[in-house]
Every structure is written in structure tokens, then in C-alpha cells.
Homo-oligomer: A and B are copies of this chain.
Amino acid sequence: MNFKEKLLTAAHANKSWLCVGLDPDISQFPEKIGRDAGSILEFNGAVIEATSDLVCAYKPNAAFYEAWGARGWEILVETVKLVPKNIPVILDCKRGDIGNTARMYAASAFEAVGADAVTLSPYLGRDSLEPFLCYRDKGVFILCLTSNSSSADLQKKIVLIDEPPSVGAMTPQSKARTLAEFFNVSTVELYLYVARLARQWNEGDNIGLVVGATSPLQLEKVRKEAGQEMPILIPGVGAQGGDLESALENGSNGRGELAIINVARSIIYAGGVKEYPGGIRRAAERYRETIENILNKKKR
């Protein structure tokens, strides 16, 4: 079973496109479980136990573990082991490096950590993804349009698909025609170009995209560019303020599938100290049900 099959199987079994972000911040932990590195594993275990029948995936962000150094990497590995075998784990590590180095990151994520999928930056191009893609049963989510406010700095720059024609050799008439044709046909924003490349590179059916819920209109364009069969991982709902309904409307395919809604803080700290861990389950239930209702409405 490859990553996409595992994802779809979990989503159907739990009737859920909710992904819970395992981003432990000890300052938010209930006092009774302690506030040191050792308490992270207990906390993650409680989150997983409270939600594993309500999700399609878990997404630990590597930074929250790396910040604890060597001990953090042990906790990450142990956390992944706590996830039931039928639920895929997406390691959000946003790596991207050249050939022999990318191979080491792939071995780290897929073998040492045991993740089912990773997030990667597209900036270094195709050969930086290959060492991950050659694990045919694993998944790769390429950063497309992120949920932070500076995402437009590069991701929304307009890129020329083809080289511009040499203008010196053209008549005024042909220049004018070229201008119109050129601007209408052959330009695209960088994030959409990344989506187009991702589709071209997806021979192994193991590529997905990351698009923030904070950009609902752009999400619709990405779904169109990526086609109906590519998973889109959507962070930014909840604490970051993205709208859940528009994210699902625009991000899911015609069958109401493959839009993976990631929620971290609004679930794992829900109810605060008082309701731990019952508040976590109730928040996950609410998200799962809201997502299901929106998707059912879309399918009708």
C-alpha cells in the first residue's frame, strides 16, 4: 500500500479529512504532566489516544523536536511509534538539498523517523526531490503557497513560462500582438508554476502540495492546476485564521476528497488545562464533523 492509498483508507475508515498537528509547546502543557522534554512524549501520547479514530493523518513539525536537540529526535521517533499503524504520519520538515545530501534527509525521515510522507521545499528543483520520490511507498508534499504573510515575496511573483521573444527584430505590429498574447498566455505566478511542475513530476503518484487555508482563491487555482488526484495539505485553519469552509470547497477534488485539513493549536490545547485530555477529543470531534458536513454539502 503506498502513501496515497494509506491516506485514503484512513480517511474513509475514520470518515475524516482532519490531520492533527503534533507541535508540542511545553508552555501550553497542563501542569500535572510537567513542562520538560520528558513530558512531550506523554502529551503527544494523550493527543494521539484522544484522536486516532477521528483523523486521516498526523503531522509532527520537525522544528518542535529539533529545538530539544538529540533528546527531541528521540521523542520524535517515539511519537511516530505511538501512532496506530493505519494512520499515516506526515513529517513536516520542509527540507531541500542537493543529491547526496537529500538522500540522507530521506533516510532520516523515512527510515530513522519512520514517517509515511514529508514536506519539501521546491526551490532546488526536481533532483532535490528524487531521493525522496524513489521511496515509491512514501509521499512527498511540495511547498506551493504557504500561510505566512511574506509568502508573496517569491511565491506570487509572475514568472514567464517561455523565454521572451527578441523585441529588436520585430515590427511595431508584431510587438503589440506579442505583448497581448504573451501576457494572456505565457505567464503564471510562481506557486502555480510549482503546482504545474509537481503534476509533471508525479509519475509515481506520490506527490502532494502544501497550500495555506489563508489563500482560498489561490487554493482553487492550485486544485485546477494539480488535477483531481493529487493530495493537498492545507495548514492555516484555526489559530492562523484560515476559513475552513472555503478551504474544503476549493481544495478538495470533485469527490470531496484529498484536501487534508491540518489543525494543531486549536485542537491539541483545546479546553486548556482544566479539560485535558477530554477537551482535545471534543475539539477534534467538532472539526471532523464540521469537515464532513461541508464535504457532504459539496457532494450534493
Contacts and interface: CB of A to CB of B under 8 A. Distances in A.
Interface stretch (A12-20, A147-155, A223-231, A290-298): A147-155
Interface stretch (A2-10, A95-103, A267-275): A95-103
Contacts of A124: 143, 146, 148, 150-151, 154-155
Interface string A158-179: 1110011001000011011011
Total copies of this chain within the assembly = 2
Contacts of A286: none
A33 interface: no
A121 B122 CA distance: 10
Contacts of A143: 123-124
Interface in A64-120: 64, 66-74, 77, 94-99, 101-102, 104-105, 107-108, 112-113
B159 A105 contact: no
Given A121-B96, A180-B175, A158 B155 contact: no
Contacts of A183: 164, 167
Interface stretch (A38-46, A132-140, A187-195, A250-258): A187-195
Given A71-B70, A176-B179, A125 B153 contact: yes
Given A96-B121, A125-B151, 15 more contacts: A66-B112, A67-B104, A69-B74, A123-B143, A124-B146, A124-B154, A125-B155, A154-B197, A160-B160, A164-B183, A164-B187, A167-B184, A178-B179, A179-B179, A179-B182
